[in-house]
A and B are shown apart, each in its own frame.
Chain A
Amino acid sequence: MKVLVAVKRVIDYNVKIRVKADHSDVDLTNVKMAMNPFCEIAVEEAVRLKEKGVATEVVAVTVGPKAAQEQLRTALALGADRAIHIETDERAESLAVAKLLAKVVEEEQPGLVVLGKQAIDTDNNQTGQMLAALTGLPQGTFASEVEISGDGSDKKLNVTREIDGGLQTIALTLPAIVTTDLRLNEPRYAKLPDIMKAKKKPLDVKTPADYGIEVASKVSLLKVESPAERKGGVKVASVDELIDKLKNEAKVL
């Protein structure tokens, strides 16, 4: 079966972000960008399914500016077979991305779609669920283990999910949508020869207009601020002093 994997270009997770002086947004000029860590896990899972002979083809897709092609090339270097870039400079919210991905699902007819559980920039945790709703496919979110069971029409996808109290396993009919949690796998690094080969792999460029989708949303960003700074604390010299401070100064004991 074909596996579709969605990736997002985000600010690198190690970067300490800065809010713009006019509070319009976070400053992204000259900041290191990378593939969203949860998307790396999604690509890794898709590639592993191919190595196991479950997936026949892995297609990577992204929605974003021209520069997002770097992240598609990374996915290709990691083992994806081809890529689709839906190019837009607009701020694409989860709903618009889900609508575009639903069109790609309709066109490509994958047996499985893998996404990260959330992007570390907007921290929304919505796109996979919205895509499942729009395509009418079942969803296995926050997956820490994915396994195909049964044959033919009995074929199911068993997804172990990280839920608040522990773990939950559900069975889904295929095709299905899966979003990855951190413990699903350990993503590999791209090797230099694979990075070179990835440059020759096919990458289709489309626009939201090709799919007849409006990217603009009804949610507007009014202001972005830095969170209240915590005031500098003190170092205490002993356990006795710590307990004394907690009792008499902070009054939390």
Chain B
Amino acid sequence: MSILVLADLHEGQLAGTTANVVAAAQAIGGDIDVLVAGEGVQAAAESAAKLDAVSKVRVADNAVYAHQLAEPMGALLVELAGDYTHVLASASTTGKNVLPRLAALKDVSQLSDVLGVESADTFLRPIYAGNAIATVKSDDALKVITIRTTGFDAVGASGSAPIEAVDTVVENTQSSFVKEELAKSDRPELGGAKVVISGGRGMGNGENFKLLDGIADKLGAAIGASRAAVDAGFVPNDMQVGQTGKIVAPDLYIAVGISGAIQHLAGMKDSKVIVAINKDDEAPIFQVADYGLVGDLFEILPELESKL
């Protein structure tokens, strides 16, 4: 078995989720190579080389891979995939964008959002918004898989794998990067945070999301939101937790003013401890919450902040 892991990048640096994908590769077993592709990614490659269980880091550093556009990334992976039995990436927007191209070009299926490994060809994945878990077996020669990173504990960073350059340069005349608008935040990244506090429609408006700031600061938490809060324009969409947003599984998830629609639960119900704060004691969120507090969030939040 030989596995290629496509590294996750965040503003040119190695994203923490890469260590979770390597852990999934470890569960499959075999040699694990990590591919770091982008422009100016030497530092990211050095971080990847430190991850435990990695045999080798391959670096494709070229302007054509900048912003990891799907067309050149797909072509690069097709060039490299011949050496491997498995190609893995996280189920991030980049992994989801790029890996199905590789699968189609190699004429194999893709397994999306894998959250458990039974063996080298049998995997667990959620279907129907996480309301069922399917066990699937792939008889394809090449297994192309995106990993739900919250399903695997990250590997450590005490390794020292060799780094080797990949000279493959592909052409791309079909797509070009225009601009990026990234939401700025000093808080931990939503996908990897140990504590997440999310607001829903009950927050009333975007201004009121500031009520979550103090609590998030005290707990070192990331701030999330329900789709209702995003659609109402309270907060930007990258804060959305749910089937169509981010999937999180922190130690502690605090849902404030969130009713608990199926769509939202799909994104957070694997959290270790769930707290719900809602004025409607019939809200479905209380059926999954370990601790529920019925009451007015505008009174509860300031009190919670002062007492933490």
Contacts and interface: CB of A to CB of B under 8 A. Distances in A.
Are A and B bound to each other?
Answer: yes
A132 B103 CA distance: 12
B139 interface: yes
Contacts of A246: 252, 273, 275, 291
A185 interface: no
Interface in A208-253: 217-227, 230, 232-236, 238-240, 242-243, 245-246, 250, 252-253
A252 B252 contact: yes
A187 interface: no
Interface string A15-33: 0110100000010000000
Contacts of A217: 109
B74 interface: yes
Given A221-B136, A240-B307, A171 B175 contact: yes
A124 B291 contact: no
B93 A163 contact: yes
Q: Quick one: which of A123, A162, A181, A250 has the most chain B CB within 10 A?
A: A123
B178 A170 contact: yes
Contacts of A227: 126, 130-133, 269
A223 B281 CA distance: 36
Interface residues of B toward A: which range? 35 or more
Contact of B180 (A142, A169, A181, A230): A169
Interface string A129-164: 111111001110110100000000000001001111
Interface of B: 10-11, 67, 69-71, 74, 92-94, 96-105, 107-113, 122, 126-140, 173-183, 191, 195, 219, 227, 230-231, 236-238, 243-244, 246, 251-252, 262-263, 269, 272-275, 281, 286-294, 300, 303-304, 307-308
Interface of A: 11, 13-14, 16-17, 19, 26, 93-95, 98, 120-127, 129-134, 137-139, 141-142, 144, 158, 161-173, 181-183, 217-227, 230, 232-236, 238-240, 242-243, 245-246, 250, 252-253
20 contacts: A13-B263, A17-B131, A130-B104, A133-B104, A134-B104, A165-B182, A165-B238, A166-B182, A167-B181, A168-B177, A172-B175, A181-B244, A219-B139, A220-B136, A225-B133, A232-B287, A235-B291, A250-B291, A252-B272, A253-B252
